[in-house]
């Protein structure tokens, strides 16, 4: 009855398969549903966050547009025409701005009246501005800050308009403002550039909640209040728009006070959920139908296979030998195979017994043959470790006889230090999994020597699977150990050699990924580059592309190459001598490249500096020669003008002569300053003078105005009563030009360059004091720019020789290094402050020169004249010689002339009673120095006065060659300076200190 009741409760195979299928599908369906819901929610949140991001982005774009207009207005407010009160010129500037930027400009006085407006002709006034605009003007005047108005109605157009207002000064008077007005659609292009998705909308709302602009465009909404209430800053909410459509609103407040609003329909947010629900329902229905179909098909196949097995079982019950046909079900086939084997079992048992006996005999024979033919030592122990079997090689390796080994265990043959480790291997490997890994240990031979071996041990079992033995194949590894030690020593020696060498060696595979390096590569730590390509460690993609092309070519052609390559690291260019060779495996296949790199940055910069220095030396010599000829021409012109000046002439002619002489003095000063600048760039010994640098700065500023370009505003701030310093004037000029050019490069879009000079007292504990300089009185010369500035890592290295952030060939890295060297040689120090985006200030602290007694030189003191003394003028330039002769004659001297030194010596040796030789230095044949030396030797008492148009430091002027006591008068010189110089040379015993020529200032009179 129990079996019958159980049978009544049984279910068909198809029913069970259906339940099983549904049990698998329903959880998967539910899990998929959860995933769809989560996806829909995250997609909706992503769209909301994107809406907020668009609002923030549009607010930034509006701020940028407002900032551009504000910048233009501030430039107009600071224009020189407005400062001078030139309203006509200001009106022209405003009209030019209106034409270019499409907004109108108005200048309003403190009463709010539009004095100048691009909407009206010049002279007409714009009145009747709304109170809101007047209040905005008052706010701008009171705070001094720009202001963006709400949407107001234009006085002239009557249309809505926006106003941007900045403060201004007219002829120094405050209370004025400059205003820009533009219609709301001026900002439409700013919103349209965002390219919003279909269905989205965006708009700008002023502080009062009035609609300024909207996209898609709705002109009917401009100036109307919005339906929503917005908080300060940024936010979001869900509401309905003017069309009654539910939408999600995100807003952000621009710096101008306007709110940028972006709206997306709620339907767009719910679309992912709707799609997910539909997809989920369709997928569930399809899976249910598919499960029912597969269940019925599978059930029928299983029932058909089971009927075959049932028939075979009944035949076996009758003692038949059966063969069950194959079915589509693997498990039923297994049952059929078992039935087939059972039917053959009786017949097979006798045959199996015979086969087992024969196999056992054959196995014993194979075991004995294997045991005796092994080429490695073999040993077998019981579970207690006693040696029960071994081959002859094992006994020979240890030096024991077979009888001796039978009385030993493997522990007796193993040094005690290995017992614990080997027992761990037995317990954790051999007994647990039936064998060990290959491991190393030591054996102690019979003679006491210890040998290293490696072995693998296998566990033996009896017929019941119980462990009963362990056997191992043993191999002596002493020779291999010695070879490994030698290899390790060789590798270590090779590693140390590579580490000590100033070279980086590295290998890369065919994908050009680093596989091995001996040290840092291109400034990157060795462990940081393994597995990476050059593009992942270099700053510039073009550097990596050049290296990849070179290495790929070597792999392709199998021919090594050597090149000089350049990479950028931390903004600085470095040059390497790179050798690339193909890397082959033992089979000769190229698997990558092996490279050796030596840094040659300083060598390349030194080569370029030498080449540049040689070119500059040549240029300086040519320029110096031109300046020399220019000084000769000035001497001729100035001399002739001074000769004409001594004659009677109308006042207007005399004024013209005075003006021309003043221009000549300025030209001489310019020529001298240019020679000093050029000579400062040459390798020369500095010629220091005690001077006040204010004039140097003023003259340099005039030259720099044309050098830095119109986009850079140059300002000078020179304090009164500056202390003197002792420096080379040419080096001062070179430093100013160097720093100014660096500043110009730091301001690619233009800016302000300020050169300031002031007296400062540096305290001993001042943080600015550095480089071992002494505290005390200094003159601070500062060059400040408003450029891009420098990060700390660059600022720390700016004084290093050859350090440059420019590419090789674009700079030598010696500019600031030479500045530091000049100041250090002068006993001062340099302070540099800079930050990214904040500009750079380089301050040179030059120590105050020790006071010396000043020489009184009265400009009204009359020039000394001669008393008929005979002066021999030696000059190869005919025009200069003739002017000099006439000047000396007018000063009361008798004159002789000679074209060169040979002619002058001939006249003196012929007995001419010469009282003074006045000679140029640079002449064909013997120089003025040679002539003075010869005269000093032949006529020691004969005075000599030399003159030249070359600047001190020029390689063609070497004052050390002049005999002691010989003065040098620089061209061009005035008649007064010539008179004092000649008088000082003729009468050195008199108090002629006031008549001494100032050789470093050729324009002094």
Report the 10 Å Cβ neighbour count for 234.
16
CB 760 within 8 A of CB 780: yes
HSE value, Cβ hemisphere, 13 Å, CA-based, for 997: 29
CA 850 – CA 832 distance, rounded (Å): 27
CB 54 within 8 A of CB 262: yes
Q: Is the peptide bond before 972 cis (omega within 30 degrees of 0)?
A: yes
**Strand order across the 840-847 sheet:** 712-718, 751-762, 776-785, 840-847, 829-834
- What DSSP element (H or E) covers 672? helix 651-680
Distances, alpha carbon 229 to alpha carbons 206, 207, 250, 251, 258, in Å: 12, 11, 12, 11, 14
Q: How much is the pTM?
A: 0.33
Residue 255: Cβ-neighbour burial (10 angstroms; 0-12, 13-18, 19+): middle
**Residue 4 confidence (pLDDT):** 47
CB 189 within 8 A of CB 182: no
- What DSSP element (H or E) covers 895? strand 894-898
Give which of 92, 63, 67, 68 is closest to 79, Cα–Cα. Answer: 92
Report the 10 Å Cβ neighbour count for 793.
10
Residues 6+ apart with CB under 8 A from 682: 616, 617, 620, 953, 955
CB 476 within 8 A of CB 453: yes
CA 93 – CA 98 distance, rounded (Å): 9
**Residue 858 confidence (pLDDT):** 41
Pairing state between β 259-265 and 378-381: unpaired
Residues 6+ apart with CB under 8 A from 741: 707, 708
- Residue 84 per-residue DSSP state: H
**Residue 880 confidence (pLDDT):** 83
- Residue 426 per-residue DSSP state: I
**Residue 582 confidence (pLDDT):** 93
961-984 b/e (C-beta count within 10 Å ≥ 16 → b): ebeeebbbbbbbbbbbbbbbbbbb
The residue length of the chain stands at: 1005
Residues 6+ apart with CB under 8 A from 836: 788, 789, 790, 791
Average pLDDT of each block of 10 consecutive residues along the chain (1005 residues)?
Answer: 53 69 73 74 84 88 88 88 88 89 90 89 86 88 90 84 91 89 85 81 87 80 80 83 82 87 83 71 75 74 72 70 72 73 64 69 65 78 91 90 91 93 93 92 93 92 90 88 83 67 84 88 84 88 90 92 84 83 89 88 70 56 56 57 58 57 57 53 61 83 76 88 85 81 85 92 75 78 88 70 49 57 80 87 87 46 82 89 87 92 92 92 88 91 88 71 86 82 85 40 38
CA 136 – CA 267 distance, rounded (Å): 42
* DSSP assignment of 573-618: EEEEEEEEEEEE-TTS-EEEEEEEEEE-HHHHHHHHHHHHHHHHHH
CA 197 – CA 759 distance, rounded (Å): 64
CB 425 within 8 A of CB 436: yes
- Residue 989 per-residue DSSP state: T
CB 779 within 8 A of CB 755: no
**Strand order across the 894-898 sheet:** 894-898, 870-874, 916-920, 944-948, 967-970
3-class DSSP assignment, residue 766: coil
Q: Is the peptide bond before 216 cis (omega within 30 degrees of 0)?
A: yes
3-class DSSP assignment, residue 411: coil
HSE value, Cβ hemisphere, 13 Å, CA-based, for 46: 8
Q: What angle do CA 748, 753, 759 make, to 5 degrees?
A: 155
CA 83 – CA 743 distance, rounded (Å): 28
* Helix residue spans in 113-159 (DSSP H): 131-143
**Residue 365 confidence (pLDDT):** 66
CA 244 – CA 528 distance, rounded (Å): 60
Pairing state between β 201-205 and 259-265: antiparallel
Distances, alpha carbon 110 to alpha carbons 105, 167, 176, 664, in Å: 16, 11, 5, 51
CB 433 within 8 A of CB 457: no
Question: In the beta sheet, which residues pair with residue 842?
Answer: 783, 832
CA 373 – CA 391 distance, rounded (Å): 9
CA 904 – CA 917 distance, rounded (Å): 9
Residues 6+ apart with CB under 8 A from 137: 108, 112, 165, 177, 179
Instruction: State whether the Cα torsion 578-579-580-586 is positive or negative.
Output: negative
3-class DSSP assignment, residue 447: coil
């Amino acid at each position: 009855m129990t079996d019958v009741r159980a049978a009544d409760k049984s279910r068909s195979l198809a029913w069970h398969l259906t339940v099983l299928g549904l049990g698998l599908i329903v959880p998967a369906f539910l899990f998929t549903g959860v995933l769809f819901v989560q996806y829909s929610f995250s997609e909706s949140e992503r769209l909301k966050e994107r809406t907020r991001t668009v609002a923030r982005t549009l607010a930034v774009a509006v701020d940028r547009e407002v900032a551009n207009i504000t910048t233009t207005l501030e430039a107009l407010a600071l224009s020189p025409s407005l400062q001078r009160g030139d309203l006509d010129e200001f009106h022209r500037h405003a009209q030019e701005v209106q034409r270019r930027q499409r907004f109108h400009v108005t200048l309003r006085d403190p009463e709010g009246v539009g004095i100048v407006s691009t909407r009206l002709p010049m002279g007409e006034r714009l009145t009747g501005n709304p109170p809101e605009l007047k209040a905005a003007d008052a706010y701008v005047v009171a705070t001094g800050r720009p202001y963006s108005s709400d949407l107001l109605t234009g006085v002239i157009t009557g249309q809505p308009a926006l106003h941007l207002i900045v403060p201004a000064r007219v002829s120094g008077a405050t209370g004025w403002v400059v205003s820009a007005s533009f219609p709301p659609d001026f900002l439409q292009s700013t919103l349209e550039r965002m390219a919003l998705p279909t269905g989205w909308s965006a708009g700008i709302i002023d502080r009062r909640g009035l609609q300024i602009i909207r996209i898609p465009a709705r002109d009917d909404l401009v100036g109307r209040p919005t339906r929503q209430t917005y908080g300060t800053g940024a936010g979001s909410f869900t509401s309905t728009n003017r069309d009654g459509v539910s939408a999600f609103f995100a807003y952000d407040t621009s710096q101008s006070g306007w709110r940028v609003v972006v709206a997306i329909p709620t339907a767009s947010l719910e679309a992912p959920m709707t799609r997910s629900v539909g997809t989920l329902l369709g997928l569930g229905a399809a899976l249910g139908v598919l499960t029912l179909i597969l269940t019925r098909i599978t059930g029928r196949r299983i029932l058909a296979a089971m009927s075959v097995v049932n028939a075979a079982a009944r035949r076996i019950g009758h003692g038949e030998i059966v063969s069950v046909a194959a079915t589509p079900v693997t498990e039923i086939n297994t049952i059929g195979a078992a039935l087939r084997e059972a039917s053959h079992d009786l017949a097979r048992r006798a045959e199996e017994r015979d086969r087992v006996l024969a196999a056992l005999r054959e196995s014993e024979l194979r075991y004995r043959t294997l045991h005796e033919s092994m080429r490695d030592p073999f040993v077998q122990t019981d579970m207690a470790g006693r040696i029960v079997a071994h081959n002859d090689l094992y006994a020979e390796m240890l030096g024991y006889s077979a009888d001796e080994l039978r009385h030993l265990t493997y522990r007796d043959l193993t040094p005690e230090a290995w017992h614990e480790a080997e027992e761990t291997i037995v317990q954790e490997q051999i007994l647990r999994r039936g064998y060990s890994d290959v491991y190393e240990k030591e054996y102690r031979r019979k003679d006491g020597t210890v040998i290293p071996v490696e072995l693998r041990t296998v566990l033996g079992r009896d017929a019941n699977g119980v462990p009963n033995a362990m056997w191992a194949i043993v191999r002596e590894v002493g020779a291999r150990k010695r070879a490994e030690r030698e290899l390790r020593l060789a590798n270590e020696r090779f590693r140390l050699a590579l580490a000590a060498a100033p070279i980086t060696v590295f290998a890369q595979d065919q994908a050009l990924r680093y596989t091995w390096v001996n040290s840092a590569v291109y400034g990157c730590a060795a462990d940081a580059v393994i597995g990476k390509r050059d593009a992942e460690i270099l700053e510039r993609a073009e550097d990596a592309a050049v290296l990849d092309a070179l290495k790929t070519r070597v792999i392709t052609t199998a021919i090594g190459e050597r090149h000089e390559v350049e990479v950028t690291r931390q903004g600085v260019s470095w040059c390497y001598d790179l050798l690339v060779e193909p890397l082959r495996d033992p089979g000769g296949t190229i698997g990558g490249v092996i490279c050796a790199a030596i840094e040659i940055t300083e060598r390349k910069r030194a080569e370029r500096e030498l080449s540049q220095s040689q070119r500059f030396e040549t240029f300086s010599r040519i320029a110096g020669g031109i300046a020399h000829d220019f000084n000769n021409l000035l001497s001729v012109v100035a001399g002739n003008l001074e000769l004409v000046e001594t004659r009677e002439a109308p006042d207007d002619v005399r004024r013209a002569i005075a003006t021309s002489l003043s221009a000549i003095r300025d030209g001489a000063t310019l020529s001298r300053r240019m020679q000093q600048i050029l000579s400062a760039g040459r390798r020369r010994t500095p010629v220091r003078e005690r001077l006040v640098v204010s004039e140097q700065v003023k003259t340099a500023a005039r030259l720099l105005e044309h050098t830095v370009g119109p986009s850079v505003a140059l300002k000078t701030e020179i304090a009164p009563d500056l202390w003197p310093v002792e420096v080379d004037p040419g080096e001062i000029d070179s430093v100013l030009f160097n720093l100014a050019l660096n500043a110009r490069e730091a301001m690619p879009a233009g800016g302000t360059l300020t050169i300031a000079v002031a007296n400062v007292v540096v305290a001993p504990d001042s943080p600015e004091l550095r480089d071992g300089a002494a505290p005390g009185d200094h003159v601070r010369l500062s060059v400040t720019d408003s450029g891009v500035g420098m990060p700390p890592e660059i600022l720390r290295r700016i004084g290093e020789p050859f350090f440059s952030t420019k590419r090789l060939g674009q700079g030598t890295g010696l500019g600031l290094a030479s500045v530091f060297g000049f100041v250090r040689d002068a006993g001062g120090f340099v302070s540099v402050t800079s930050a990214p985006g904040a500009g750079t200030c380089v301050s040179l602290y030059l120590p105050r020169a020790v006071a010396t007694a000043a020489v009184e030189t009265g400009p009204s003191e009359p020039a000394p004249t001669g008393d008929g003394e005979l002066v021999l003028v030696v000059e190869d330039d005919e025009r200069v010689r003739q002017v000099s002769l006439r000047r000396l004659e007018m000063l009361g001297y008798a004159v002789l002339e000679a074209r060169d030194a040979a002619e002058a010596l001939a006249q003196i040796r012929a007995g001419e009673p010469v009282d003074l030789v006045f000679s140029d230095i640079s002449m064909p044949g013997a120089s003025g120095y040679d002539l003075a030396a010869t005269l000093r030797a032949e006529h020691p008492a004969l005075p000599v006065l030399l003159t030249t148009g070359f600047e001190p430091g020029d390689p063609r002027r070497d004052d050390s060659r002049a005999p002691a006591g010989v003065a040098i008068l620089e061209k061009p010189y005035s008649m007064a300076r010539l008179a004092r110089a000649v008088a000082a040379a003729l009468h050195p015993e008199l108090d002629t200190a006031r008549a001494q020529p100032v050789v470093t200032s050729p324009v002094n009179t």
